Amino acid sequence: MDDFLNTFLNWEYIWQVFPDLLKTGLLNTLILSSASAVIGTVLGMIVAIMGLSTKPWFRWPARIYTDIFRGLPAILTILLIGLGFSQILRPIVGTNPYPLGILALSLIASAYIGEIFRSGIQSVEKGQLEAARALGMSYSRAMLLVVIPQGVRRVLPALVNQFIALVKDSSLVYFLGLLTTQRELFRIGQDLAANSGNLSPLVAAGFFYLIITVPLTHLVNYIDKRLRTGRKVRPEADGHDELDELTAAGKVLP
Amino acid sequence: MTVVTPVRSSSVELRDIHVSFGTLEVLRGVDLKVEKGRTTCVIGPSGSGKSTLLRCVNRLQEPDSGDLLLDGESVISSDPDRLRQRVGMVFQHFNLFGHRTVLDNITLPLRSVKGIGKEEAVEIARARLADVGLSDKAPYRPSALSGGQQQRVAIARALAMDPEVMLFDEATSALDPELVKGVLNLMAGLAKRGLTLIVVTHEMGFARGVADNVAFMDHGKVVETGTPEAIFDAPQSPRLQRFLSQVL
């Protein structure tokens, strides 16, 4: 038992790694995952809309893009983009692997998110688009105001699940070699674990991941529940209720 | 409570409309003329092309050939969004926007299509909701309403756009029997106000009582047209006679 505690919960190491995790690691993990969540969501929506197009020269590139980035192991994509593009993009991003890590994570996320959005948008009844068109809206306006908002709402739980995956995948960026100040949670835990030969710093890093991901999973459940039960709307007090009832009863014609 | 807003309505004419889905000929040269301010009911067995014909009037279905005239002018190749601002449509399954409140369902097209300001749009929406007797439902989501109420909101939404013609595609077919009457009354009220209506319906009582003209369709063609009296009391074609003997 003492061995177990010493291996996983050595307070000395945890205490030692804690400030770095809090000040550097948490911040970097949040930056990496939220930046790629935002970019991935935007790209994902573009991929979804292209994938739903009736025109093959929109649909096919979206299809191929999705197949590639969903089909490759995340670590492979991160290495290929992080190392490969560092040569090409050096004039723009310098030797900093951080932006390329975000780019790689975004591309992976966008492939998954694109599929999530596509399934959501496709699940909206055809009548919604028809009604919007029949009211004189253009196709793009009808999609933007009527179809896409409803489609996105339905897949919000799946979207948040994808964000959770992104938080965890952000640890893979450490393969690109980060500066001390750029280290995210996993790398900080791993560094001290390697130096000390004790796993407690990684346990501490895991604790920080849970601080981010557990609230997100509960957010998923909350959204899911609210989508199924619907938000309660209280009717406005209206003095015309009685008259309306009369009209509704067919006594008064418009 | 009776609405006195002046109605600007138009005549509708369909000429030799053809529509095919693949090898299936759904409309095989349909002619239909609806005079300004009149109500025409389209009846016929299911699969006869009634709904497809109706959808040609606002070009949700683009005909393969033929001409469509609104107020005497051809609109078959004009901007369909413009046409649809002049032709309102009410669907069998209401198709209210589920993510918006009842009020927003009406203000959304007013604002996004007609470019009307928020306050004016809300004013119009409230007035149209009052017309259909549902002022108190403004803040609800459509899913909180009964089918009949949803359909009345859909009618209010279409009316708010100030159309010259209204199309009803089996507007009461999805409703529980006790809710049908309220919607039909509302439609009769619109007919009385002088709006041009084209109504695809299985409600023979409505067709007989409200319509100025009845068109009977079968196998993608208008087989017989006439006044309700002529159609229901003295049907000429054997197919109409058989149809009436089955539904009446």
Spell out the domain ranges in chain B.
12-96+164-247
CA distance from start to end of chain B: 35
Residue A84 has a CB neighbour count (10 Å cut-off) of 12
Q: CATH 3.10.620.30: does it fit domain B12-96+164-247?
A: no
Model confidence at B48: pLDDT above 60: yes
For every residue of B125-138, DSSP letters joined together read: HHHHHHHTT-GGGT
Whether the Cβ atoms of residue A165 and residue B108 lie closer than 8 Å to each other? no
Q: What does chain B come to in residues?
A: 248
> What is the CA A150 to chain-centroid distance, rounded?
18
ipTM of the complex: 0.92
Average pLDDT over residues A99-119: 95
**Residues of chain A found within 8 Å of residue B131, distances taken between Cβ atoms:** 247, 254
Closest by Cα among A96, A99, A110 to A165: A110
Check CB contact under 8 Å for A250 and B182.
Answer: yes
Please list the residues that pair with B23 across neighbouring strands: none
Nearest chain A residue (CA) to B84:
A136
Model confidence at A114: pLDDT above 90: yes
Check CB contact under 8 Å for B113 and A254.
Answer: no
Model confidence at B247: pLDDT above 80: yes
Amino acid A177: pLDDT = 84
Q: Which residue of B58, B139, B154 is in closest CB contact with A235?
A: B139
Give CA torsion, residues B114, B117, B118, B124, to 10 deg: -60
Structure tokens at B79: 């901007």
The answer to the question of residue A241 being in a domain is no
CB contacts < 8 A, A to B, total 123
> Which has more pLDDT, A229 or B234?
B234
Residue B242 has a CB neighbour count (10 Å cut-off) of 13
Model confidence at B72: pLDDT above 70: yes
A99–chain B nearest CA distance, Å: 37
The answer to the question of residue A252 being in a domain is no
Q: Which residue of B135, B161, B186 is in closest CB contact with A136?
A: B161
> Residue A109: CA atoms inside 13 Å, Cβ hemisphere, count?
32
Q: What is the rounded average pLDDT for all residues in chain A?
A: 87
pLDDT (tens digit, 9 = 90+) per residue, A183-215? 999 999 999 999 998 999 999 999 999 999 999
Q: Which residue of A132, A243, A252 is in closest CB contact with B2?
A: A252
On whether any CB of chain A is under 8 Å from the CB of B146, the answer is: no
Using only C-alpha atoms, what is the Rg of chain A?
Answer: 25
Model confidence at A232: pLDDT above 70: no
Q: What is the rounded average pLDDT for all residues in chain B?
A: 93
On whether any CB of chain A is under 8 Å from the CB of B89, the answer is: yes
Nearest chain A residue (CA) to B140:
A233
In the three-class reduction of DSSP (H, G, I as helix; E, B as strand; rest coil), residue B49 is classed as coil
- pTM of the model as a whole: 0.84
The answer to the question of residue A245 being in a domain is no
Structure tokens at B25: 């000929």
On whether any CB of chain A is under 8 Å from the CB of B174, the answer is: no
Whether the Cβ atoms of residue B231 and residue B218 lie closer than 8 Å to each other? no
Check CB contact under 8 Å for A253 and B132.
Answer: no
Check CB contact under 8 Å for B138 and A236.
Answer: yes
**Residues of chain A found within 8 Å of residue B114, distances taken between Cβ atoms:** 136
Q: Where is B66: in which H helix or E strand?
A: strand B65-70
A54–chain B nearest CA distance, Å: 17
The answer to the question of residue A243 being in a domain is no
Amino acid B248: pLDDT = 79
Of the residues A128, A135, A152, A232, the best mutation for testing chain B's interface (the one with the most B CB atoms within 10 Å of its CB) is A135
pLDDT confidence bin for B5, thresholds 50/70/90 = low
Q: Which of A3-7, A242-246, B73-77 has the lowest mean pLDDT?
A: A242-246
Q: What is the CATH number of the domain that holds A70?
A: 1.10.3720.10
The answer to the question of residue A246 being in a domain is no
The answer to the question of residue A253 being in a domain is no
Domain that holds residue A166: 2-234
Residue A24 has a CB neighbour count (10 Å cut-off) of 18
